[in-house]
Amino acid sequence: MLPILLDLKIVKIYTFGVFLVLALFWGLFWLWKNLKRTSFKEDQVFDIVFLSLIGGFIAARLAFVATHFDNFGFDLLKFILINGYPGLSLPGFLVGGFLTLALIARLARLPFFELAAYLIPSLFLALGIGKVGAFFAGTTVGSVTAFPLHVRYVGFEGLRHITALYEAIFMFVGFALSQRLLMNYRRDSINESSILSFFIIVASFSKLILDNFKEDIVYFSGLRVTVIVSFVLFVILSITELVRYRSSLTEKVRSLLNTRAKNHGKKISSYENTA
């Protein structure tokens, strides 16, 4: 683990901070690439994105304080002094960011779901880079394991899961698939809201699986809060999307079965002719 990338005595450069800058840069760069294909005004969209980031940051801090209230209480200074009392909630950031995006898009009379569709690949990419940074900085501590892929975290005993890297893999796969979905949307193959649903499904599935391999998890009545919420979102949105595309999925399966049946028939005919 390398929490501090460079110590210049006067100032310290933190590993996670460097990766956050990289995540922001590459995320905005990819968004710019996708926006070039649209009629959206780039400067307007970037203004909305920056405001959404601010809204997400505030929500992330509020969510973290709420879930760790015993450590903060009603002390406003502890809430503000993030350097002295660090902590942000990624789910809180995403919820706050998307709510801010929806509000501003409505005020600007822009289509929210279409705007979100072009943002999702960039968001996946940024989250993936951020998760890699979380691994190297040691901010996402895995649970104790005997699995061959393990690492030691500073301040924690035993060998532990490389959970942050697993999360990064989920995000990078989501990035590749969401970019493909975006291209399908541009060809009118899918509904614009399906890309946002896809993001929530992937993020929920990642949380549902990988939060079981984390050390610091918030519990409610003995149950893991993120696992409960992730399960509900994953099931509801998965069923919704399956119902939405059931006819096209049925047609594709039928076409695949017919193709295999024809190929099998050709093989039998070829074998009989040879015999």
Supply the DSSP string of 40-83, one letter for each residue: S-HHHHHHHHHHHHHHHHHHHHHHHHHHTHHHHTT-HHHHH-TT
Residue 220 lies in a domain: yes
Domain assignment of residue 272, given as a range: 249-275
Name 204's Cβ contacts closer than 8 Å, sequence gap at least 6: 229, 230, 231, 233, 234, 237
| β-sheet bridge partners, residue 116 | none
Residue 212 contacts residue 227 (beta carbons within 8 Å): yes
One domain for residues 224 and 254: no
One domain for residues 151 and 119: yes
One domain for residues 26 and 139: yes
One domain for residues 153 and 257: no
Looking at residue 82, its pLDDT comes to 75
Residue 47 lies in a domain: no
Residue 79 lies in a domain: no
One domain for residues 134 and 181: yes
Predicted TM-score (pTM) of this structure? 0.85
Between CA 270 and CA 265 the distance in angstroms is 9
Residue 80 lies in a domain: no
Looking at residue 14, its pLDDT comes to 82
Residue 70 lies in a domain: no
The dihedrals phi and psi of 73, each to the nearest 5 degrees, come to 60, -140
One domain for residues 174 and 269: no
Cβ–Cβ contacts within 10 Å for residue 71, how many? Answer: 12
Between CA 21 and CA 18 the distance in angstroms is 5
Looking at residue 268, its pLDDT comes to 60
CA atoms within 13 A on the CB side of 213: 21
Query: In terms of DSSP bridges, do strands 150-151 and 12-14 run parallel, antiparallel, or are they unpaired?
Result: unpaired
Residue 16 lies in a domain: yes
For the residues of 177-241, what is the DSSP string, one character each?
HHHHHHHHHHTTSS-THHHHHHHHHHHHHHHHHHGGGBS---EETTEEHHHHHHHHHHHHHHHHH
One domain for residues 267 and 157: no
Residue 50 lies in a domain: no
Looking at residue 177, its pLDDT comes to 96
Between CA 192 and CA 197 the distance in angstroms is 9
One domain for residues 195 and 261: no
Q: Three-state DSSP class for 169?
A: helix
Looking at residue 228, its pLDDT comes to 84
Looking at residue 270, its pLDDT comes to 61
One domain for residues 126 and 13: yes
Looking at residue 36, its pLDDT comes to 92
- Whose tokens are 């017919």? That residue is 258
The radius of gyration computed from the CA coordinates of the chain, to the nearest angstrom, equals 23
One domain for residues 35 and 140: yes
Tokens read off for 144:
């104790």
Between CA 98 and CA 49 the distance in angstroms is 10
One domain for residues 175 and 275: no
Dihedral-angle region of residue 216 (phi above 0 means left; psi in -120 to 50 means alpha; beta otherwise): beta
Residue 9 lies in a domain: yes
> Which amino acid makes up residue 199?
F
Counting as low any pLDDT under 70, the low residues of the chain are 216-223, 249, 252, 255-256, 260-275
Number of domains in the chain: 2
One domain for residues 143 and 216: yes
User: Please, what's the b/e burial string for 25-49 (b: 16 or more CB within 10 A of its CB; e: otherwise)?
Assistant: eebbebbeebbeeeebeeeebeebb
Between CA 154 and CA 111 the distance in angstroms is 46
Closest CA to 114 of 53, 171, 42, 38: 38
